[in-house]
Chain A
């Protein structure tokens, strides 16, 4: 109605803009990841379980509400990114790459332009809450991270066979003087709700540090 909007300029797509950070090679490859801003929510327990499903819905609700609010206000348009996730076990777990899933810590995250800030999140949570759609939305927060040198590859298959790809990535990185340096990171290209496990495509990323 009365809202004037600027004519849409090119829509920002961070996945395409940062193409080098989202390569999906079939063999491990070293990449460097610069500063990145995310909307994120953390939790604990089995990935894909009840808590992560509820928080995933809240994360997408906040992400879309911020995007649409900015777009509608003429503040520019961008693509709400693919879902990403980070996973880390409790300290002292015998095999950090194969920990008990019920005790897994995780962060679900959607990459977002750096112009999006905490006040956008606050507004979106208030709006969703007013419409009765705010369940767990107040747990969504801005998360900034710079991962630096990482090893990355495409994993095709069920999530519970990622360990095989992770071992390949470590076997590739370690002879080059690197060691595991931060939470295991995943970028979801497929949607597990309908895609059979053997066809799931997931980018795996291990942040590295010099041994």
Chain B
């Protein structure tokens, strides 16, 4: 197989960016965009956010707003029509979004007839009436040089309980789970505490994200009540450590998927990523928390 290079990643992402700009008037499905550039839909969003510096949704919204700004300057169309074209249901919603981006209302903007210059263009990509994307510099916010090791790990036999809802609301589920497991003598030396993230919180609505609280157990552990058993399959993983609070994990994911992996020659495998918690959030200051992230990779 031909090795995957950083230029491949860049070229593929550019294809997506161009396609977005040429299809701003319709629904842009994540699967379609991922497929277009041969990215796994499973992790596409993280790659996108890491390489482009904003989420897919935020990028599309911004590009549509930039187009709307151009139209405000160059056409006599009514604001409502431009708002609908930009994907907004109402004049008011469009005005709110436009003001958030530019600090001014669409009509005031049109009256002043300014060149549209939005501040937030983390990767240099702007709306081009011609439909092209002349400038795209994949971000490097330090992710290219992050410490990552590639390891063949697992399998892990784990007891688990599932949390469905926002990831940051999983603490009580962990508490209940660990109380049951600990009281039964299952938390000993060498027990791993693993979070299994089935969904990317940037795409799946928070109330539907699935997350398994897992601890490693012996093969003879039997499911009981809300606690099930599963085997996390072995495989190749990119492993890096996130230092600090859990609410900043998304930044480390974005760097790993969008900055480090595109330069690594490796391809992400469609499987849940794992978080291994090395210390207890109860007794550790947030900035001292350590989490190993295991991102599944295709074997070479």
Contacts from A to B (Cβ < 8 Å): 1, 11, 13, 15, 54, 56-58, 60-61, 64-65, 67-69, 71-73, 79-82, 124, 127-128, 130-137, 189-191, 193-195, 201
Closest-CB distance, A125 to chain B (whole angstroms)? 9
B189 CB–A CB distance under 8 Å: yes
Q: List 13 A-B contacts (CB under 8 A).
A: A13-B282, A58-B188, A60-B189, A61-B191, A64-B187, A71-B182, A79-B282, A131-B185, A131-B218, A132-B218, A189-B285, A193-B278, A194-B243
Ranked nearest first, the 8 interchain pairs of A and B with the lowest CB-CB distance are A68-B182, A57-B189, A133-B188, A127-B185, A72-B183, A61-B188, A131-B185, A69-B183
Which residue of chain A lies nearest to B221 when distances are taken between CB atoms in the complex? A131
Closest-CB distance, A42 to chain B (whole angstroms)? 17
B234 CB–A CB distance under 8 Å: no
**Inter-chain CB contacts under 8 Å: number:** 94
**Residue from B183, B185, B190, B292 whose CB has the most chain A CB atoms within 10 Å:** B185
What A residues does B243 contact at CB under 8 A?
Answer: 194-195
B178 CB–A CB distance under 8 Å: yes
Partner of B290, one of A11, A15, A191: A191
Partner of A80, one of B184, B280, B285: B280
The docked-state distance in angstroms from the alpha carbon of A131 to that of B191 is: 12
Closest-CB distance, B177 to chain A (whole angstroms)? 10
B186 CB–A CB distance under 8 Å: yes
B93 CB–A CB distance under 8 Å: no
The docked-state distance in angstroms from the alpha carbon of A1 to that of B218 is: 23
Partner of B185, one of A73, A82, A130: A130
B288 CB–A CB distance under 8 Å: yes
- Size of interface on B: residues with Cβ below 8 Å to A: 28
The docked-state distance in angstroms from the alpha carbon of A195 to that of B243 is: 8
B241 CB–A CB distance under 8 Å: yes
What A residues does B181 contact at CB under 8 A?
Answer: 68
What A residues does B280 contact at CB under 8 A?
Answer: 80
What A residues does B178 contact at CB under 8 A?
Answer: 64, 68
The docked-state distance in angstroms from the alpha carbon of A150 to that of B51 is: 53
Partner of A201, one of B179, B183, B218, B288: B288
The docked-state distance in angstroms from the alpha carbon of A201 to that of B243 is: 14
Partner of A72, one of B179, B186, B292: B179
B137 CB–A CB distance under 8 Å: no
Closest-CB distance, B181 to chain A (whole angstroms)? 7
Which residue of chain B lies nearest to A57 when distances are taken between CB atoms in the complex? B189
What B residues does A189 contact at CB under 8 A?
Answer: 285, 288
Q: Is the CB of B188 within 8 A of A57?
A: yes
The docked-state distance in angstroms from the alpha carbon of A15 to that of B282 is: 11
Q: Is the CB of A134 within 8 A of B278?
A: no
Partner of B190, one of A57, A190, A195: A57
What A residues does B183 contact at CB under 8 A?
Answer: 65, 68-69, 71-73
B121 CB–A CB distance under 8 Å: no
Chain B 240-265 near chain A by CB (<8 Å), digits 1 or 0: 01010000000000000000000000
For window 39-58 of chain B, which residues contact chain A by CB distance below 8 Å? none
Q: Is the CB of A69 within 8 A of B182?
A: yes
